[in-house]
Amino acid sequence: MLRNGLEPWHLIVVLAVIVLLFGSKKLPEAARGLGKSLRILKAETRALHEDTPPDTPAESTHAAAPETTTQAIPPPRTDAPPTGRAAPTTSHPSTP
C-alpha cells in the first residue's frame, strides 16, 4: 500500500501549494531569512563545541560539587539621589 512515501509528483504538489500560499515575491525573502538563521545556528553550535573540552565527559561536570563564589557588593553612590523618587526640597530658607 505505502511503498514509497514521497514520489516526485508529491514534491511538485507541495511546491505549488507553497508558491500559491506565500506568493513568488515572498519566497526569496523567506529563503534568505532561513539561510541566515541556519548560519547563526551553525556558528553557535560550533562555538559551543569549541568551548567544551573534548576529553571531559558531560556527566562528570554535573556530578562535581558546584563552586561557590562570593561577589563584593559595591557601596551605594552618595552623589546621586535615590532612584525612584526625587530628593525633597524646601521652599523657604532655613534660619538659625
Confidence (pTM): 0.38
Confidence of residue 82 (pLDDT cuts 50, 70, 90): low
Residues 53 and 55: their CA atoms lie apart, in Å, by 6
Give tens-digit pLDDT for 56-73. Answer: 555 544 555 556 666 777
